[in-house]
């Protein structure tokens, strides 16, 4: 299975995914990192991990459609089977959604449908709830609305600060995301096998 990761910033989930898959000696490979922010830290991680990457912004294109068509061309060239979003801060448009229906997965730092959007961790912290968590889901045309694959709760204690909560969430993400992606891939392979029977 050939995997592409889309990210916009730090890239700690990207690194966790690549390292886990390599440690398991899986034949699935991370063929490409795409980043929409040409100065993002995730690009250093890609370099260190020797994962080929591209970075370009939608601002370089006349429309979102053209931007996504460029991404789609590269995905096709690299024969990517699965897109894993890891902190990609843009809504996936119809060009990519149509081409990769049910093959785009996202991770969100809250127990969806609670606290969708850009600030899932902060919104939960400020709402003073006593638990939040992590959701891994298929991507559809909404914002953080696609079918849920996996959720894991993280408690918020009285001692927690926003920073300590962020650290707990990220730790949970780094452990859960690679394993869930591994399961998704197994499922995709089974479906393929059944088709070929
Ligand atoms: C993660 O919290 C993820 O849930 C959200 O964006 C953050 C990305 O962090 N979608 P990183 O770039 O992987 O460190």
Can you state the percent helix, strand and coil of the chain, rounding each to 5? 45, 20, 35
At residue 192, the 3 state secondary structure works out as: helix
Judge contact between 65 and 92, C-beta under 8 A.
no
Indicate if 174 belongs to the active site.
no
CA nearest neighbour of 83 among 191, 152, 7 = 7
Burial class (CB in 10 A: 0-12, 13-18, 19+), 26: middle
H-type helices in the chain, by residue range? 12-23, 42-49, 64-77, 94-99, 120-126, 162-196
Answer yes or no: is the C-beta of 87 below 6 A from any ligand 1 atom.
Answer: yes
**Does residue 133 have its Cβ closer than 6 Å to ligand 1?**
no
User: In this structure, which residue's CA is closest to atom 5 in ligand 1?
Assistant: 87
User: Does the pLDDT of residue 172 top 90, yes or no?
Assistant: yes
Going by their DSSP bridges, the two strands 104-108 and 82-85 should be labelled as parallel
Ordered domains of the chain (ranges, CATH): 2-196 (3.40.50.170)
Q: What is the pLDDT of residue 117?
A: 95
38, 64 Cβ separation under 8 angstroms: no
At 66-107, the pLDDT tens digits run 999 999 999 999 999 999 999 999 999 999 999 999 999 999
Q: What is the pTM of this model?
A: 0.97
């Amino acid at each position: 299975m050939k995997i592409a990761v889309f990210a916009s910033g730090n890239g700690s989930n990207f690194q966790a995914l690549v390292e886990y898959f390599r440690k398991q000696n899986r034949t699935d490979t991370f063929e490409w990192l795409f980043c929409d922010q040409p100065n993002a830290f995730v690009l250093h991680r890609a370099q260190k991990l020797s994962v080929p990457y591209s970075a370009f912004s939608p601002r370089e294109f006349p429309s979102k459609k053209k931007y996504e068509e460029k991404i789609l061309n590269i995905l096709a060239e690299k024969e990517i089977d699965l897109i894993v979003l890891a902190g990609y801060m843009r809504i996936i448009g119809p060009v990519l959604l149509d081409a990769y229906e049910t093959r785009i997965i996202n991770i969100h730092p809250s127990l969806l449908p609670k606290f969708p959007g850009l600030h899932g961790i902060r919104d939960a912290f400020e709402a003073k709830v006593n638990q939040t968590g992590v959701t891994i889901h298929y991507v559809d045309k909404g914002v953080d609305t696609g079918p849920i694959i996996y959720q894991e709760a993280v408690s918020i204690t009285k001692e927690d600060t926003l920073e300590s909560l962020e650290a707990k969430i990220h730790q949970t993400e780094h452990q859960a995301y690679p394993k869930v992606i591994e399961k998704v891939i197994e499922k995709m392979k089974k479906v393929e096998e059944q088709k070929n029977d």
